Amino acid sequence: MSAILDKILSDREKFVCTVKTLGACKLPSPVRHRKYVAEGERVFATESESYARFAETKLGHMPTFEKAGPKEMIFHDPRWTRVGIVTAGGLCPGLNTVIKGLVEILEFDYGVKKVFGIRYGYAGLNPKYGYEPMLLNPDAVDTIHEAGGTVLGSSRGQQPADVMVDTLERMNINVLFCIGGDGSLRCASDIAAEVLKRGLKISVVGIPKTIDNDLMFVGRSFGFESAVAQAAEVIRSAHVEAKGTPHGIGLVKLMGRDSGFIAASATVANPVVNFCLVPEVKFELEGERGLLRALERRFAAGKSHAVIVAAEGAGQELMEGAEERDASGNILKKDIGEFLKRRISAHFKEKGFNASVKYIDPSYIIRSCPARGTDAIRCYELARAAVHAAMAGRTDCVVGNIGESFALVPIALATIERQKLDTDGQSWRSVLDATGQEFYFNGVSRNLFAGDAFAP
């Protein structure tokens, strides 16, 4: 976190905590019987004590963000408001719940009738693809939250900002909601910048969609809890498979290109995992402190099976190959799951030891499930906060939650750097306690393994 603050301090003009506005709010809000958020009401940027102390030292004050919620006065006239909603990037649990929330709050709270669903991500704002928008209303979205994915479709990659703003102008859209991760939000910021450059009055508000939970300053992203719940079930299956054969190894690859939040949380949610591998913690494969030796030690201790969970971005330094990128500019990770399956199988075969590796990659199953429980509630609350922000003329921002409050964060700040798992924090400590992997990686007293071929 300190490195991120240093980056912010190096360019204070770019990375500020104040959200852009289109102008003064002069219209009485139609939202009634609510506690309005006062102008200037703000919330602290974090609940972390160490971050708070560091910020106090560096900045002389604790950074704060504008508190989200309904305003007594608004900028956009609901009678003339036309809204666009776009979902971009990979699928994530809860997309349909967010869309449903946006549509219902726009109509029920503000009386906005013209809401357009932009098809297939930002490509839907480029006329060369010919995707027709969908007209959305409460009846059309009534049950979409029960299904996974997005009724609008999605795609990766940006489109030219000037072309997309031309489309918004032609459609007379003055509010655009962009549901996406860091790359999609940067594209939303480009749209907002082009809008302001032209002197237009179009609010561009983001809703953070990152199944990896790697956006900064927005709290836990929607879809994360559902992904963890689904992943925990997959781990259960891997455990059953591993126990079903002598010296079975259940290997599960989970999402997490640069951040190991899902792998770590799923491991603690279903603590039958013996090794959790994440991008933030480098590990060795060979040698006395390598994974292969650690597996030997586990079997030598009389254990009949092992379960390994690996985030997709773990162990990249162990594999060879040229760097490639996807349409959104993200580095395509080499397949750690297939790599480990091959190397573990080959290693025990060379040792003349009967070990069976059962490899499961459930990524698309997890991404496509609907949001559940409190995760679905988070989807709706984020949608609500986004609508209130947009109608008040806020732009180039993303909504998030910090503690008990929802806040508006400038997109430049939310995408400044990917959020990482704190390997000194309680979450990772819980993983180490649940797995006992340090025990196997570092070795134990020789007499526990007396007479075993794999004893250290």
List active site positions: 212
Two tokens, residue 405: 């409050």
**Token pair in block for residue 89:** 């990037």
C-alpha angle 262-268-274 in degrees, rounded to nearest 5: 100
Of 167, 260, 275, the closest CA to residue 212 belongs to 260
Reference 268, options 103, 67, 431, 425; nearest CA is 431
Q: Helix H segments across 146-220?
A: 161-170, 182-197
Q: 208: Cβ–Cβ under 8 A, 6 or more apart, which residues?
A: 181, 185, 215, 218, 221, 222, 382, 398, 399, 400, 414
Number of Cβ within 10 Å of residue 426's Cβ equals 8
Angle between helices 426-435 and 261-269 (to 10 degrees): 50
Please state the three-class secondary structure of 341-395 as a single string. Answer: HHHHHHHHHHCCCCCEEEEECCHHHHHCCCCCHHHHHHHHHHHHHHHHHHHCCEE
Nearest Cα residue to 104 out of 375, 381, 378: 381
Non-local CB neighbours of 157 within 8 Å, separated by 6+ positions: 121, 122, 123, 327, 328
For residue 313, what are the β-bridge partners? none
Which residues have C-beta within 8 Å of that of residue 112, sequence separation ≥ 6?
78, 81, 83, 106
- Rounded to whole angstroms, the Cα distance separating 104 from 100 reads 6
Backbone dihedral angles phi then psi of residue 117, each to the nearest 5 degrees: -90, 120
Task: At 243, list the tokens.
Answer: 């126990």
DSSP 62: -
Closest CA relative to residue 250, chosen from 341, 338, 357: 357
